[in-house]
Chains A and B, each alone.
Chain A
């Protein structure tokens, strides 16, 4: 399957942290027969993909299956759904959006009082999460409870589209993009035996990767991610972090990890030699599963390769197809060279 067809399929699946089952089922169906697969107690997939060559070193390549969203916390007497965010969501992006709730995929909208009735600061301040609610069209608690239960997951309703010529807009690109790259690597086959981990619960604190890294006990790790690109006119040049169409992002440091210098240099050297565009992050910002994996057991040499992504953690994440191709190429090449270190 084409990597972008796969990305669309993956982004359209709803799977917030702790509710990754549908994403997992899809991935398991795609790697069946290609890997030795186990699902760990937290729900992460650990897949050993056999290569042509053996090595006494272990490489773990990881991406997370979960996405940010919300969880149902209360149903009012009016039949409105109260909720809390799961993962880091900007409160300014939630009002007026359409969402899908629970296994029954109930459609709802995030509402509040009408613009015309706002007073003073209400007009200029984001509505806090505890004042927002979802309207599913129910009039009473009893009616709403027939369709929605406390603890149900809530996702942004998705509209996966192409922007311009080669840009994609969707929810959940963080980190279904990483999952799509790993599935492509598995399909194409690997040089050396490689552990692919599709982990859970990254967005609520790197929990799936903590357990999976312990189980795999790798010598090296590559985390495949989507990272904030702030290359928009509202950011000055020094605060853009990374830019679309400038290639795969390899960071020296973020809020969770000081990356291994050998692998950092190897990534750029590989990019130069193989004509793969590679950029670094110009700010110490963000964080990912590398934060948990690099300090697993006695320590793991870790690199993160990310696709630059605008408007991360929103229903309108935007990436360039070219960058995802670069991430795929660099991940493939680096996963060979690591064994030759």
Chain B
């Protein structure tokens, strides 16, 4: 399936950490031709096994992880005027708050707008509001709001996916739905192939609040090898080139003291052999991805990161190049196809 089409199904689905069901269902529908899996209510994870799984111990298991959750807010209070007060879920960028449009995932989905002190009452209109300063206007009275919304309901920004020039796209929650898309495309490329390994997908929950889903998910799957597919920083004006990859230059293969150097090199070799563009992402300890939890799952798991370069992370206008998703899928498929 066309990558933009996959993103168009995954990105709009609601999936703020702790409320991943809708996003997981969208992914499961796209995955259904390639295997079997289900959403786990207990953890919020979705574990999906590719067809051909052997449970007799004859095959090793590769875990491909991408987190299905996205950053957002949680409703903490409803004012007498029917406005919602919220707390952040994950790392919220204060620069993008004001005048953004949101969905509140209550008994029904309710649209709203983020507001704060109006400019004419602001002595310093350069100061960004904190999340604790904002209100969400949903156009309801307090009475009506309380019928539809319960404290603890989650809120996400709204921004339907859109194509920019070339193969670039912009949407909310591309962190990490584009990783999920890469995993879907990986299974599409491997369809019908006879493999020497079991392939498990972990669409993990609650990454944005501390890699919680990866911890329980890796425990349940018991992998021999794990690959965390997430987004990382792509260079744009204002960034330091040394800290970033670049759009369109391919998946970023992680090298770090906390990762398996063997796997990093196997991936590099695989990319070289198959003519797949790649970049390196050098880290000096933990990676800030689900790999950090998976490496120390049970008795330890050989783990590596593969990251899709992204601009404007954690804003409603995240930007990626779909060629980087496609090349990530090619790299993963070639790598898994070659595993014994």
User: Residues on A close to B: CB < 8 A?
Assistant: 76, 78, 80, 90-93, 95-98, 106-117, 123-128, 131, 133, 135-139, 143, 147, 159, 161-167, 169, 228, 230-235, 239, 241, 283, 285-286, 310-311, 314-316, 318
Chain A residue with Cβ nearest B318: A109
Q: Is B99 at the interface (CB under 8 A from chain A)?
A: yes
Residues on A with beta carbons closer than 8 Å to the beta carbon of B315:
95-96, 111, 115
Contact B99–A91 (Cβ < 8 Å): no
Contact B165–A163 (Cβ < 8 Å): no
Contact B166–A285 (Cβ < 8 Å): no
Residue of A92, A106, A124, A128 ringed by the most chain B CB atoms within 10 A: A92
Residues on A with beta carbons closer than 8 Å to the beta carbon of B159:
98
A113 to B95, CA, bound (A): 11
Q: Is B117 at the interface (CB under 8 A from chain A)?
A: yes
Say yes or no: A116-B238 contact (C-beta < 8 A), given A125-B127, A164-B138, A316-B113.
no
Q: Is B59 at the interface (CB under 8 A from chain A)?
A: no
Residue of B91, B95, B101, B120 ringed by the most chain A CB atoms within 10 A: B95
Q: Is B98 at the interface (CB under 8 A from chain A)?
A: yes
Contact B317–A126 (Cβ < 8 Å): no
Residues on A with beta carbons closer than 8 Å to the beta carbon of B238:
112-113, 131
Residue of A96, A162, A315, A318 ringed by the most chain B CB atoms within 10 A: A96
Residues on A with beta carbons closer than 8 Å to the beta carbon of B266:
none
| Min C-beta distance of A138 to chain B, whole Å | 5
| Min C-beta distance of B140 to chain A, whole Å | 5
A269 to B100, CA, bound (A): 39
Q: Is B83 at the interface (CB under 8 A from chain A)?
A: yes
Chain B residue with Cβ nearest A98: B317
Q: Is B233 at the interface (CB under 8 A from chain A)?
A: yes
User: Residues on B close to A: CB < 8 A?
Assistant: 79, 81, 83, 91, 93-96, 98-101, 110-121, 125-129, 133, 135, 137-140, 144, 158-159, 162-166, 168, 170, 233, 236-240, 243, 247-248, 311-317, 319
Residues on B with beta carbons closer than 8 Å to the beta carbon of A124:
94, 127-128
Contact A123–B94 (Cβ < 8 Å): yes
Residues on A with beta carbons closer than 8 Å to the beta carbon of B133:
234
| Min C-beta distance of B270 to chain A, whole Å | 27
Residues on A with beta carbons closer than 8 Å to the beta carbon of B237:
76, 78, 80, 112-113, 133
Q: Of the candidates B101, B120, B140, which one forms a contact with A316 in the assembled complex, judged by CB atoms under 8 Å apart?
A: B101
Q: Of the candidates B91, B118, B135, which one forms a contact with A116 in the assembled complex, judged by CB atoms under 8 Å apart?
A: B91
Q: Of the candidates B99, B135, B313, B319, which one forms a contact with A232 in the assembled complex, judged by CB atoms under 8 Å apart?
A: B135
Contact B81–A232 (Cβ < 8 Å): yes
| Min C-beta distance of B167 to chain A, whole Å | 8
A218 to B117, CA, bound (A): 39
Contact A169–B101 (Cβ < 8 Å): yes
Chain B residue with Cβ nearest A80: B237
A139 to B236, CA, bound (A): 10
| Min C-beta distance of B231 to chain A, whole Å | 10
| Min C-beta distance of B181 to chain A, whole Å | 18
Residues on B with beta carbons closer than 8 Å to the beta carbon of A165:
139-140, 144
Main secondary structure of the interface of A (DSSP, over half): loop
A234 to B128, CA, bound (A): 14
Residues on B with beta carbons closer than 8 Å to the beta carbon of A80:
236-237
Chain A residue with Cβ nearest B79: A233
Contact B240–A318 (Cβ < 8 Å): no
Residue of B79, B166, B170, B239 ringed by the most chain A CB atoms within 10 A: B170
Contact A161–B111 (Cβ < 8 Å): yes
| Min C-beta distance of A304 to chain B, whole Å | 17
Residues on B with beta carbons closer than 8 Å to the beta carbon of A283:
120
Chain B residue with Cβ nearest A99: B317
Residues on B with beta carbons closer than 8 Å to the beta carbon of A106:
165
| Min C-beta distance of A168 to chain B, whole Å | 9
A311 to B112, CA, bound (A): 12
Q: Of the candidates B121, B125, B138, B168, which one forms a contact with A230 in the assembled complex, judged by CB atoms under 8 Å apart?
A: B121
Contact B115–A114 (Cβ < 8 Å): no
Contact B98–A111 (Cβ < 8 Å): no
Contact B135–A95 (Cβ < 8 Å): no
| Min C-beta distance of A203 to chain B, whole Å | 15
Say yes or no: A228-B312 contact (C-beta < 8 A), given A95-B95, A136-B164.
no
A163 to B164, CA, bound (A): 28
| Min C-beta distance of A126 to chain B, whole Å | 5
| Min C-beta distance of B115 to chain A, whole Å | 6
Chain A residue with Cβ nearest B97: A92
A272 to B127, CA, bound (A): 43
Residues on A with beta carbons closer than 8 Å to the beta carbon of B99:
93, 97, 311, 314-316
Residues on A with beta carbons closer than 8 Å to the beta carbon of B158:
159
| Min C-beta distance of B11 to chain A, whole Å | 13
Contact B115–A126 (Cβ < 8 Å): no
Say yes or no: A90-B135 contact (C-beta < 8 A), given A109-B319, A111-B312, A230-B118.
no
| Min C-beta distance of B156 to chain A, whole Å | 14
| Min C-beta distance of B114 to chain A, whole Å | 8
A318 to B99, CA, bound (A): 10
Residue of A76, A113, A116 ringed by the most chain B CB atoms within 10 A: A113
Residues on B with beta carbons closer than 8 Å to the beta carbon of A233:
79, 81, 83, 135
Residues on B with beta carbons closer than 8 Å to the beta carbon of A110:
317
Contact B137–A163 (Cβ < 8 Å): yes
Chain A residue with Cβ nearest B162: A107
Say yes or no: A114-B98 contact (C-beta < 8 A), given A96-B315, A163-B113, A228-B120.
no
Residues on B with beta carbons closer than 8 Å to the beta carbon of A113:
236-239
Q: Of the candidates A117, A147, A167, A241, which one forms a contact with B165 in the assembled complex, judged by CB atoms under 8 Å apart?
A: A147
